[in-house]
Each structure stands twice: as structure tokens, then as C-alpha cells.
Amino acid sequence: MSAGGLHISISAEPVAHFGNFTVSNSMLTSLVVSALLITFAFAVRFSLKQTNRPSGLQNFAEWMMEGLISLVHGVTGSEKRTRHFLPFVASFFLFIMMNNWLGLVPGVGTIGYLEKPEGEEHAQLSPSQVTLPGTVAQASTEAASETTTAPAVEVVDPAHTPAGEEEVVGGPIDLQVEAGEVHEEATTAEAEHAEAKFVPYFRAGTADLNTTIALAFVSVFMTQVFGVMYLKLSYFGKFFNFSSPIGFFVGILELILEFAKIISFAFRLFGNIFAGEVLLAVITFLVPLVVPMPFYGLEVVVGVIQALVFSMLSVVFFNMATIGHDDH
Amino acid sequence: MEIQLPQILFQIVNFSVVVGALTYLLFKPVQKILDERSNKIAEAQKAAQAVIEEKDAIETLKKQSKRDAEKAAAAILDEAKKDADVRSQELIQKTQEHGKAQLTKLQAEWQNEKKEMVKELKAQFTDAVIATSAKVLGEKLDSKAHSKLIDQEMNTILKAL
């Protein structure tokens, strides 16, 4: 919640800076998840015993591993491939699921600090109060005083805009504001900026597009690695096929598909998790008691399902990459 | 929505570290334990299969031995029956012979005894009749003639018997 009410931010907020490197709150959550997973792995490693009746942590770890192995083996149908794919698929599943779930822990996204806005870093849109990073709109205005009163949302005055510059694009979102609304908007923005901006310390890792792009990149990169590992250089034959004009174009499509996979993976995961967070924030904002509980339960399930979808798609792509084009 | 390359690189490195740590600390050791247990179970199953096969072989051998024993027992029983029949026939024959001999002997003894008894009875009867007659008649009868007469009467009675 921001000082004014509902706090929803599409991008992760920076919480620290090391030179040019910005640490966002989603990165902190990812680090916490990594630490938790590694601690769990350590605990399992030192509790492992060769026994026919495992119990406690070992029992849980074995149950989890058997489930993941059967999941991967169900797709590959090969012992060798399962052994190769398992570390990545299982890591995807655990990392994404933990990130999704950590976003639901009370305090994540709600405990933070108030930051005084600096210059034009952020703009908060009324009445939704969705925070948009970067310069939201940029336009040429005649009066310098107008821009100083409205630092976050600048305006376009058609009367003073040069020809061809009526609609101005700045940052990811385009805004066109009539001159008559300038003063009102500027006053609102000024009033909001006078307040301190709420920055949560933690945010679900998968609710940040940078994290999901990174995971998607690893998945697609490993697809190529496994393809080369199993098919050697002939793997690239599916991209660079000069046997026929149709084959050539199919190859180009295959190449585009690999990049599309990154976008598809990243936006699917980000969209689902971020939508869940928005849903929870809105429901909690509207009816704070009892009503959000079923939605929290739903998001717990969504967290597992999204982790499973990402992992299963990865293993399917890994497997497809290791099967020769003629074997399809 | 900001896509920042340093953050993406950081997440890639972070995830790679997680993959490495989980593979080294969790996946491989747990998988090793699961494999070892699977091998152990497979070996135990193989041993159990061998024991089952051995048990089946013993069962077959046992059945075969039982059949052989039953055959042998039947043969022995037949032979014993035959022996018993022979012996029982012999015993019956011997018993019959012995009985016949005993009967003959007893019949001979009985005849002798009968003769003796008749003789004795006759003498006693004669004496009694003579004594009675002497008392009745008051005179002494000739015992020889009297005995002769009594013998005649006695023979008549005995024949009638």
C-alpha cells in the first residue's frame, strides 16, 4: 500500500544501488529463494542415510525427487535423457514455485520504506495509482513553469507543438494530454510527489519481467546445448536448411521460434504471477478481511501450476531438441 | 516495465548457482540413494525369485518322492496281501486238519468211553436187577443165566436208543 492507498507497480522497484548496478526488490526475493533452496539442499545432504525406511527430511526429499524424476521420465522415456534434463527441470520447478509462493507471504510487497521521489523517476497515475517507471510522457511545452509544476506527466499543447509532433512517445507508455488539462494534472502530480513513495523491500521474483526473461533465456539456451550434445552439429541443420526453398524458410521460422520461446516463456510466467498479485492487492484493498483468503488459496495453486508449466515446457523443448529432424 | 540487462544477467548467474548447488547437494546424492535402493530391491527380488524357483524344485521333488513312495507302498501292500492270503490258507488248512484229527480222536475216545460206560452200566444194572429179584423171589438166581437175559434186554434197549 502506498501512502495514498493501493500500491501496484508493473516493474520491480530499486532498493539499493552499487555504482551503476541497481538492486531491485525482486532480486532480493530471488536471493532469499536461492538461499532457502541451498539451505534445504545442505540440510538434505547431511541428513542422507542409506536406509530402506527413510524418514523426515530425507523422506520428503526422496518423495519430491521421485515425483520430479517420473515427471521428466514421462516425457523423455529415456533414462539417459532424464538424468541430463533433471537438474535444470527440477531447479526451474523449485525456483519458480518458491518465488511464486514467497510473493504470497505476508510482508512481501507490504513491508517497505517511504522514498521521496527524485526528479522524474516515477509517475503515479490517478485514480488507479498504478506506478509507471521512467519518464511517462514527454512533450514540448511552451512554459517552463508548467513543466516544473508537473515533473512526472508532461503535456502537449497543440497550439505550441511543432507540426508532426502532436503525439509524443516517451518511455513505454504514450500519453497525449490536452492543454486545458495541464494545470489540473500537474497539480495532482505535484501533490502526489509531495508525498513520499512507498517501496516494498521484497517482491515476488517471478513478478519481475527481468527474472522471467533470465529463466526463459536459460531454458532456451540449454535447449540448444542439449541439441548439440545429442545431435552434434547436425542440430543446426534444422535452422540452416538449404536443401529446398521451403526447407530454408522453415529453418528461418525455426530460428524465429527459438527467440519467440523466450518471449512466450517470460511473458506467460510474468503475466500470470503479476496478475495474481494485482488481483490480491485489489481484493485486499476493497475487502481486507476474509474475502481475500480464497484468492490466496487460488494463488498458491497457480504458483505450483505455473512452475509446472514452465518446467514441463522446458523438458518438452529439451527432448524435442535431442531428437533428430528425421525422427519426428 | 523496464528490461535491464544487468538484472537479467544477475538472475541468470543466480539461477546457475542454484542449479549447481542443487545438483551437487540434492539431486545427485538423492538420486544415488534411490538408485542404490532400487538395485538392492532388484537384487532382493532376484534372490527371492531364486528361492521361489528352488522351493518349486523341492516341491516337485517332494511330489515325485511321494509318488514313488506310494508306488513302493502299494507294491509292498500287494505282496503282503498275497503272503497273508497264502498264510491264511495254510492256517485254515492246518486248523481244519487239526480239527478233523481232534474230532476223530474225540469220537474214538467217546466210543471207548461209551463202551465202558455201557459195560459198567450193564454190570451195575445186572447187579441191581439180580439183587432186587433175589429179594423179591427169595431165592438166589443163577447169575450167569440172569446176566445173559439182562444183556439181551439191554441190547434191545440200546438198539432202541
Q: What ipTM was reported for this prediction?
A: 0.74
Instruction: Answer whether residue A104 is part of any domain.
Output: yes
- Inter-chain CB proximity A34 and B14 less than 8 Å: yes
B139 vs B27 pLDDT, higher one: B27
pLDDT of residue A104: 87
Asked if A226 and A83 sit in the same domain, the reply is: yes
Asked if A190 and A215 sit in the same domain, the reply is: no
pLDDT at A88 exceeding the cut of 70:
yes
| Nearest residue of chain B to residue A34 (CA atoms) | B18
Asked if A93 and A125 sit in the same domain, the reply is: no
A216 vs B129 pLDDT, higher one: A216
**A67 and chain B in contact, CB less than 8 A:** no
Instruction: Answer whether residue A4 is part of any domain.
Output: no
Q: For A172-200, how does the pLDDT look when each residue is reduced to its tens digit (9 = 90+)? A: 333 344 444 444 544 555 555 556 778 88
CA distance B152 to A325: 148
pLDDT at A149 exceeding the cut of 70:
no
Instruction: Answer whether residue A27 is part of any domain.
Output: yes
Distance from CA of B53 to the nearest CA of A (A): 26
Asked if A55 and A131 sit in the same domain, the reply is: no
Residues of chain B with C-beta less than 8 angstroms from the C-beta of A58: 33
Mutation site for A-interface testing, chosen from B22, B31, B40 by largest number of A Cβ within 10 Å: B22
pLDDT of residue B1: 56
From the list A52, A95, A172, which residue is nearest B18 (CB)? A95
- Inter-chain CB proximity B11 and A66 less than 8 Å: no
pLDDT average, residue stretch B131-153: 72
Instruction: Answer whether residue A183 is part of any domain.
Output: yes
| Nearest residue of chain B to residue A209 (CA atoms) | B3
Instruction: Answer whether residue A139 is part of any domain.
Output: yes
pLDDT at B123 exceeding the cut of 90:
no
Task: Tell which A residues from 101 to 140 touch B, by Cβ distance under 8 Å.
Answer: 133-134
Mutation site for B-interface testing, chosen from A64, A91, A121, A132 by largest number of B Cβ within 10 Å: A91
- The domain boundary, picked from A139, A171, A195, lies at A195
CA distance A133 to A125: 11
Contact present, A18 and A27 (Cβ < 8 Å) = no
- Inter-chain CB proximity B8 and A20 less than 8 Å: no
From the list B16, B34, B40, which residue is nearest A65 (CB)? B34
How many domains are there within chain A? Answer: 2
Asked if A87 and A169 sit in the same domain, the reply is: no
Asked if A186 and A298 sit in the same domain, the reply is: no
Distance from CA of B55 to the nearest CA of A (A): 27
pLDDT average, residue stretch A275-292: 88
Task: Tell which A residues from 233 to 262 touch B, by Cβ distance under 8 Å.
Answer: none
* Long-range contacts (CB closer than 8 Å, 24 or more residues apart) made by A30-35: A30/A99, A30/A205, A30/A211, A30/B11, A30/B14, A31/B14, A32/A102, A32/A202, A33/A95, A33/A98, A33/A99, A33/A102, A33/A205, A34/A95, A34/B14, A34/B15, A34/B17, A34/B18
Asked if A87 and A230 sit in the same domain, the reply is: yes
Instruction: Answer whether residue A10 is part of any domain.
Output: no
Asked if A214 and A106 sit in the same domain, the reply is: yes
pLDDT of residue B141: 60
Asked if A284 and A254 sit in the same domain, the reply is: yes
pLDDT at B26 exceeding the cut of 80:
yes
Domain hosting A177: range is 119-195
Q: For A154-163, how does the pLDDT look when each residue is reduced to its tens digit (9 = 90+)? A: 333 333 434 3
pLDDT at A320 exceeding the cut of 60:
yes
- The domain boundary, picked from A165, A195, A225, lies at A195
Contact present, A203 and A12 (Cβ < 8 Å) = yes
Instruction: Answer whether residue A298 is part of any domain.
Output: yes
- The domain boundary, picked from A163, A195, A227, lies at A195
Residues of chain A with C-beta less than 8 angstroms from the C-beta of B44: none
Asked if A94 and A205 sit in the same domain, the reply is: yes
Asked if A60 and A151 sit in the same domain, the reply is: no
pLDDT average, residue stretch A104-125: 68
Instruction: Answer whether residue A5 is part of any domain.
Output: no
Distance from CA of B51 to the nearest CA of A (A): 21
**A275 and chain B in contact, CB less than 8 A:** no
- Inter-chain CB proximity B26 and A45 less than 8 Å: yes
Asked if A215 and A311 sit in the same domain, the reply is: yes
